[in-house]
Structure 1
């Protein structure tokens, strides 16, 4: 499945060692019957050849920022009547879960535009729109980046990605009277333990109660808990730019971030799925089907958009 015609032009391409591929894709249902919209912004594994020539990291190290296989975990959602936008480019190359111009001036060979936000906490931590480091705090680049080329990533990929995501959300709200965006991520199994010493299996983020109706968040957390997972809310991940940008409950658009513990389904050292993958995917399918039905019942909407 690819870009829905009603969402506009064909997505931009990136050129990998294997050839060109779409920078992102929209996986569309045959007919949208759900008010849910899914987004996987950090699971891309298509590394531009030009980027690999710039990085000083080896192939395994540069992949440490990936939300491992989250796109594959949720690939069933079109069969349940919901669309999903999936980034194919890697997070280490460009992070669409940031403001468009959160940039570190020390990374580039010339001055940045005056509208760049160089003072954000995320930039200070090396994780701006164009990241400086991967997850293990390893520097990505051996030399300053060409400023024009770096800004081109934002203009040619970041903005089209968000225009497409906005169109998905707007289309869904128009059809159902409301929309609920689920931003899908993964976290390392070493995530900080919760009280009692246990590490969370899932973190549900709603920007501390601002990006979605509280009853929707409670329903999501309860449904995930019923699956046997240890679920916490907002700590340490409350949601990033996507959750903050799109979550407008007072306007009928809700956004929730879901972080899955990678140890549930993948070997984090070898960067491959393990035998838990199929079970986690089946549980997520149950969650999406039941949660979507609960949301529609709560809102009193028809089961499909005619």
Structure 2
């Protein structure tokens, strides 16, 4: 069985709920189903491949999801295909032959962090040899495209039913070396992807529960926030980065006692945002 076939054994994403509220919860990087072929042919052990994984985000979001918002999360891992990059944002140097002209690498892709990443964790190369471009194209077809089709449909449905849609794009971040590392970083692409009222509401709700927050530094939001955040069209997107040590041991990737508190905080924040949207629409 090749890895393309293996992906079809399990759907590339899971979606729960429909557009019963204007909010969509999404986790593009919590997938932890690593194809055997991918792991066995990697230079790195599985523990290293998981370095960029946003473990358990979909579980953290469960109480918020129970309030009504739809929940979408990837099953495939970020190291295999990163949907928070444009589809063809790849490093051409990782392939064993010429690549099509539609491949347009950004500086992030050239550094190894494209839609099909070349590196993981501390600049460690994933692959032993260069890949055939067809392999990357299959990952885009089988992972990237289905995820974005589902996300776009959920947001369109929300806007059609409620007049606007808000994507809460959920991520986790490693602890920074700085002593004042915030608990949450809220990214709205420097005020362009989300209404100011909504990001202020999220900040207020989190701070009221004792968490520290920052805006846009060091995470302003990736491709997803930029692509779907179009407030002038009634589509809002807010990236939410949560400090991993708040809910898990980063070395063992096991949940800690803080998991329940953080999960509750997400639900409280989501409820505050739902209330704020209702006020904005009234």
Q: TM-score, normalised by structure 2?
A: 0.95
1:232-247 correspondence runs (5 A): 232-247=214-229
| 8 Å CA contact 1:14, 1:22 repeated in 2 | no
Shift of residue 14 of structure 1? Answer: 6.3
**2:10 paired residue number:** 21
Shift of residue 207 of structure 1? Answer: 0.2
Structure 2: how far apart are the matches of 1:236 and 1:249?
22
Aligned residue-pair number:
279
Match of 1:95, SS state, is coil
Match of 1:80, SS state, is coil
**1:140 paired residue number:** 126
| 8 Å CA contact 2:12, 2:142 repeated in 1 | no
Q: Which of 1 and 2 has higher RCO (CA within 8 Å, sep 6+)?
A: 2
Matched, 1:60 2:42: no
Name the stretch that deviates more: 70-79 or 135-144.
70-79
Matched, 1:40 2:11: no
Shift of residue 83 of structure 1? Answer: 0.4
Which consecutive aligned stretches of 4+ in structure 1 deviate over 2 angstroms post-superposition?
A: 13-16, 75-78
**2:233 paired residue number:** 251
1:1-306 correspondence runs (5 A): 15=6, 20-28=9-17, 32-118=19-105, 120-190=106-176, 193=178, 197-300=179-282
Shift of residue 163 of structure 1? Answer: 1.0
Structure 1: which 5+ runs fail to align? 1-12, 301-306
Shift of residue 90 of structure 1? Answer: 0.1
> Aligned Cα RMSD in Å?
1.6
| 8 Å CA contact 1:14, 1:89 repeated in 2 | no
Structure 2: which 5+ runs fail to align? none
Structure 2: how far apart are the matches of 1:111 and 1:27?
40
Shift of residue 50 of structure 1? Answer: 2.1
Match of 1:250, SS state, is helix
| 8 Å CA contact 1:14, 1:48 repeated in 2 | no
Structure 2: how far apart are the matches of 1:71 and 1:22?
16
Match of 2:116, SS state, is coil
